[in-house]
Amino acid sequence: MRLSNTPLGRLLLAALLSLAPPAVLAEPLVGVEEAHAELEGGVWLLDADLHLVPSKTMRQAVDNGARLELRLAIEVYQERGWWPDSAVAELTQRYTLRYHPLTRRVVTTAHNSGIRRSYADLEDALRALGRLQRLPLLDHALLADCDPCYGRLRVQLGVASVPLLLQPVHWFTDHWRIESPWYHWPIGT
């Protein structure tokens, strides 16, 4: 018999978890570690490093044939002091990840371009998608009247397809989807 299955074992486990630092208990599963944009040939290009770790529920869903969706919400805006920020541009990048049991590989599809890539496993696919390089963001002419101008990026990772019987659970729990806070950076400075 395992100690964790006894009342005393559960009490000890709860005591240990309460002593753990909050960062260990609430480590974000998705996030933006760094992002910046560079001007090249009249176009702002985005580079970003993302932290993408699916929950246990998401891994099990993918192993059982469900698709994961990675969504990157990107906004360029101008701060206006006492007034609400002014949106200059908005862009959404979407990727679908699906495990193919026949080939035992994870295939990613970029919805904006249609490009498909194959990876050995889910971790490799998420590692590759977590390194954005030279993603066209916007034309420099759109920033002519934007001073100061900022970019923000948010990452969302979730199960895209859920069996019919599990859909009500999918709507009301966060085990099926996770979202990062906004990451902000200056553009054009």
Beta bridge partners of 122: none
CA-to-CA separations, 28 to 33, 51, 74, 163, in angstroms, rounded: 11, 9, 19, 27
Computed over every residue of the chain, the mean pLDDT equals 81
**Straight-line distance from the first to the last Cα atom of the chain, in angstroms, rounded to the nearest whole number:** 63
- 168 vs 40 pLDDT, higher one: 40
Residue 20 falls inside a structural domain: no
Residue 59 falls inside a structural domain: yes
Beta-carbon contacts of 185 under 8 Å, excluding residues fewer than 6 positions away, are 35, 36, 37, 150, 151, 152
Residue 112 falls inside a structural domain: yes
Residue 180 falls inside a structural domain: yes
Q: How many CB atoms lie within 10 A of CB 178?
A: 19
Please name the residue that has the structure tokens 């002091």.
81
Q: What is the pTM of this model?
A: 0.77
Predicted local confidence at residue 17, as pLDDT: 43
SS3 labels along the chain: CCHHHCHHHHHHHHHHHHHCCHHHHCCCCEEEEEEEEEEECCEEEEEEEEEECCCHHHHHHHHCCCEEEEEEEEEEEEEECCEEEEEEEEEEEEEEEEEECCCCEEEEEECCCCCEEEECCHHHHHHHHCEEEEEEEEEHHHHCCCCCEEEEEEEEEEECCCCHHHHHHHHHCCCCEEECCCEEEEECC
Predicted local confidence at residue 48, as pLDDT: 97
Residue 1 falls inside a structural domain: no
Residue 129 falls inside a structural domain: yes
Predicted local confidence at residue 6, as pLDDT: 59
CA separation for the pair 79, 150 (Å, rounded): 8
User: What residue numbers bound the domain in which 171 lies?
Assistant: 29-187
- 156 vs 26 pLDDT, higher one: 156
How many structural domains does the chain have? Answer: 1
CA separation for the pair 122, 107 (Å, rounded): 9
Residue 171 falls inside a structural domain: yes
Residue 85 falls inside a structural domain: yes
pLDDT, tens only, 68-109: 999 999 999 988 777 877 788 899 999 999 998 889 999 999
Q: Lowest-confidence range among 74-83, 89-98, 140-149, 160-169?
A: 160-169
Torsions phi, psi of 137, nearest 5?
A: -100, -60
Count Cα neighbours of 16 within 13 Å in the Cβ-side half-sphere: 7
- 92 vs 173 pLDDT, higher one: 92
Predicted local confidence at residue 27, as pLDDT: 53
- Written as one letter, the residue type at 173 is T
